């Protein structure tokens, strides 16, 4: 595919080509309801939440595969209580043909529940290739992390990329969502300047209620000042409205340059529902393919 010139409608459509989605273990019914709206072969991440157990996570990943999509199960390092638990999860995913692509993240608990303090420690176990894993996505934080310094974040990312290369695994990066394009573009330039060539999926909130979006922003430390909210397309004084990422994607497409920012696609956090997000993407693509 020829790279579309920055700022053109086709540039936005290009960024949306091969977009990915996210779901929880409890969203299988929602996935079935959205099936016709999602292109076959779409990557769908399956989260690793503390209130869900292994059978629920595995059955969700299996449903993604059965639907003709590519499951990308999450592994939350600090939620794992033992190596045996990790091996059991990997083996279970392999049994349902859902282990080829993973997303490995440190996770929420401040204190690890077991032997893995971060994503790097899971990657370095050497267990992933033996269970059919071919590619691993790791986290990126264009706006930083509320509990981790910038230098530490960059060092951790580079260490994980190196560990994945040494393990013979394909590496990619999926970023936290945000409402402001500027830090995303600056972060991409810094990433490429550091010699990291891995493809990146920029986290984007799917269409959702403003109140819900702000709730997730507070939870994940995402900047949502009045100026940023206005730039994105909603007001902090009207929490009853809804907002989609139209302006965010348009602004990203205007400035995106493959030569500068490398291979980039979009990953949608489905805060407003899987079908609503998939329908929005399809409608946006239809409107910007010309």
Q: How far apart, in whole angstroms, are the C-alpha atoms of residue 171 and residue 20?
A: 16
Dihedral of the alpha carbons of 153, 154, 157, 162, in degrees to the nearest 10: -140
**How many CA within 13 A on the CB side of residue 93?**
30
Is the pLDDT score of 9 beyond 70? no
Asked if 15 contacts 252 with a C-beta cutoff of 8 angstroms, the reply is: yes
Q: How far is CA 48 from CA 89, 101, 279, 287, in A?
A: 11, 14, 25, 35
**How many CA within 13 A on the CB side of residue 123?**
30
Task: Work out the percent of the chain whose per-residue pLDDT is above 90.
Answer: 77
Mean pLDDT over 260-284 rounds to 95
pLDDT per residue as tens digits for the range 56-110: 999 999 999 999 999 999 999 999 999 999 999 999 999 999 999 999 999 988 8
Is the pLDDT score of 247 beyond 70? yes
Mean pLDDT over 261-286 rounds to 94
Is the pLDDT score of 233 beyond 60? yes
Helices 181-193 and 246-255 pack at an angle, to 10 degrees, of: 40
Residue 61 host element (H or E): helix 54-66
- What integer pLDDT is reported at residue 7 of this predicted model? 47
- What integer pLDDT is reported at residue 175 of this predicted model? 97
Positive or negative, the Cα torsion across 253, 269, 135, 28? negative
- What integer pLDDT is reported at residue 241 of this predicted model? 78
**How many CA within 13 A on the CB side of residue 257?**
6
Task: Work out the percent of the chain whose per-residue pLDDT is above 70.
Answer: 96
């Amino acid at each position: 595919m020829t790279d579309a010139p920055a700022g053109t409608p086709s540039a936005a459509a290009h960024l949306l080509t091969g977009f990915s989605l996210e779901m929880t273990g409890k969203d299988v019914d929602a996935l079935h309801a959205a099936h016709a709206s999602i292109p076959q072969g779409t990557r769908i991440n399956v989260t690793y939440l503390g209130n869900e157990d292994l059978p629920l996570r595995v059955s969700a990943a299996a449903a993604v595969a059965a639907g003709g999509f590519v499951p990308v199960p999450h592994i939350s390092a600090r939620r794992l209580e033992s190596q045996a638990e990790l091996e059991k999860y990997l083996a279970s995913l392999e049994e349902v043909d859902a282990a080829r692509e993973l997303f490995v993240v440190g996770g929420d608990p401040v204190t690890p529940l077991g032997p893995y303090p971060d994503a790097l420690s899971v990657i370095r176990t050497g267990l992933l290739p033996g269970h059919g894993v071919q590619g691993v996505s790791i986290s990126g934080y264009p706006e930083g992390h509320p509990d981790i310094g910038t230098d530490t974040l960059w060092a951790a990312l580079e260490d994980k990329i190196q560990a994945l290369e040494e393990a013979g695994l394909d590496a990619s990066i999926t970023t936290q969502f945000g409402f402001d394009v500027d830090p995303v573009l600056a972060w991409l330039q810094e990433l490429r300047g550091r010699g990291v060539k891995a493809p990146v999926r920029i986290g984007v909130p799917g269409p959702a209620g403003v109140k819900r979006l702000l709730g997730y922003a507070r939870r994940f430390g995402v900047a949502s000042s009045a100026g940023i909210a206005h730039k994105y397309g909603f007001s902090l004084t009207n929490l009853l409205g809804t907002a989609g990422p139209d302006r965010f994607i348009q602004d990203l497409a205007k400035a995106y340059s493959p030569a500068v920012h490398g291979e980039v696609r979009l990953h949608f956090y489905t805060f407003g529902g899987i079908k609503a997000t998939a329908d929005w993407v399809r409608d946006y693509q239809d409107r910007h393919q010309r």
